[in-house]
Amino acid sequence: MATPALPDGDTVTGESFSADKYFATQPPPPSLEHDVARVKEFLQRQLKEQRKVVLVTSGGTTVPLELNVVRFLDNFSAGTRGATSAEYFLKAGYAVIFMHRQFSLQPFSRHYSHSTHPFLDFLDVTEPPTPSSSSSSAPPDITVRPSERVQLLEVLSAYKAVQRAGTLLTLTFVTVNDYLWLLRAVSQEMGVLGRGCLFYLAAAVSDFFLPRQKMSVHKIQSGKGSLHIEMDQVPKILKPLVDEWTREGYIVSFKLETDEGLLIPKARQALARYGHQVVIGNDLHRRKFEVVFVSPKSPHSASEPSQSPSAAYEETWLRIDLEQNPHKEIEEDIVAELVRRHGLWVDGGARTVA
């Protein structure tokens, strides 16, 4: 049995898997076929109703260390960015495929976290007024506390409207393997929309994984010294996404860094490597009020030719002032800017075709 614990300090050289090799050697999640059928049906309906569709990925992925999973490596993400953005995309008339980590935040219910804003706290049990004409005891009633009523009505009405319109499809992943298989399948299906589809890849995806072939079957036993894990690199999935799976989609990826100096260089590097449309850079501690859009310069905006890498890319900073406007969510502005850019992209495609 292969084991990732190598107490004697022996090391195996970590491999860098190509996407092809990855999908040829790692097994698909059991729910994949069922999920793909739901996606097909959803996309056909949106096509008929001529809606643009955005795929929002959200939350962190896990890397299980054992086949019978007890321990796993995880990426920090509550899913706030994705869940919040999904709501604004829905408001903007998009249909949303919300592909999220199990138990991470979701649109609408995100307003009622069990930890910070539990709904049981604003429901009351009240005895109904006994009508004077009758003395029979009616069952107690459940009522919403007046202070919470306005917000709940707003959230609930938006939620019910989305349900009636059928514009939200929720998919769930846990491991980085679930995520990779699902992303490939969904993006291939989204091809039917041509330029009408947007990819908003906000999930915090692990850079590393443990191939199934190297996993321990049972819980790794402790007490044998220290834990020593050797993992392989996850394939750079943006490459085949851009080149093969969805050639016309408008693709937005995210970079989260804790070292602000790395933000723009790493965003440019990603654009140069994968050739997609936008990288949204955010610093771990400033991400609630500041992000930067990094994108290739459009040909007509380049006034003079230059060899410097900065000439090939442009940055747009979005900032909000939370002191002035404490309830403002930066995702509102992010989504508005992307809806605008995606509109230009769709028009650009139409011009090319025409």
246 part of the interface to its own copies, by CB under 8 A: no
CA angle 279, 59, 332 (to 5 degrees): 55
Neighbouring C-alpha atoms within 13 Å toward the C-beta of 305: 0
How many residues bind to its own copies according to rule CB under 8 A? Answer: 69
Residue range at the interface with its own copies (CB under 8 A); choices 181-189, 193-201, 253-261, 293-301: 253-261
| Residue-level length of the chain | 354
Q: Which is nearer to its own copies, 16 or 298 (CB)?
A: 16
9 part of the interface to its own copies, by CB under 8 A: yes
138 part of the interface to its own copies, by CB under 8 A: no
213 part of the interface to its own copies, by CB under 8 A: no
CA angle 39, 41, 47 (to 5 degrees): 95
280 part of the interface to its own copies, by CB under 8 A: no
Burial class (CB in 10 A: 0-12, 13-18, 19+), 296: middle
* Binding residue (CB under 8 A) for its own copies from 207, 243, 244, 347: 207
Residue 153: both structure tokens together = 């009505």
Residue range at the interface with its own copies (CB under 8 A); choices 88-96, 251-259, 316-324, 335-343: 251-259
Residue 48: both structure tokens together = 């008929």
Cα–Cα distance between 169 and 279 in angstroms, integer?
25
* Binding residue (CB under 8 A) for its own copies from 3, 36, 92, 159: 159
SS3 242: helix
The alpha-helical segments, DSSP class H, found in 103-175 are 146-165
92 part of the interface to its own copies, by CB under 8 A: no
- State the first-to-last Cα distance of the chain, in angstroms, to the nearest integer: 60
- As measured in angstroms, the least distance from the Cβ of 21 to its own copies is 15
* Binding residue (CB under 8 A) for its own copies from 2, 156, 344, 350: 156
Strand 53-58 versus strand 197-201 pairing type: parallel
* Binding residue (CB under 8 A) for its own copies from 31, 233, 265, 339: 233
313 part of the interface to its own copies, by CB under 8 A: no
At what angle are helices 80-91 and 146-165 packed, to 10 degrees? Answer: 70
- The residues that touch its own copies, with contacts defined as CB under 8 A, are 9, 11, 13-16, 62, 66, 68-76, 78, 102-103, 106, 108-109, 112-115, 118-120, 123, 125, 139-140, 142, 144, 149, 152-153, 155-157, 159-160, 172, 204, 206-208, 217-219, 222-223, 225-233, 256-259, 284-285
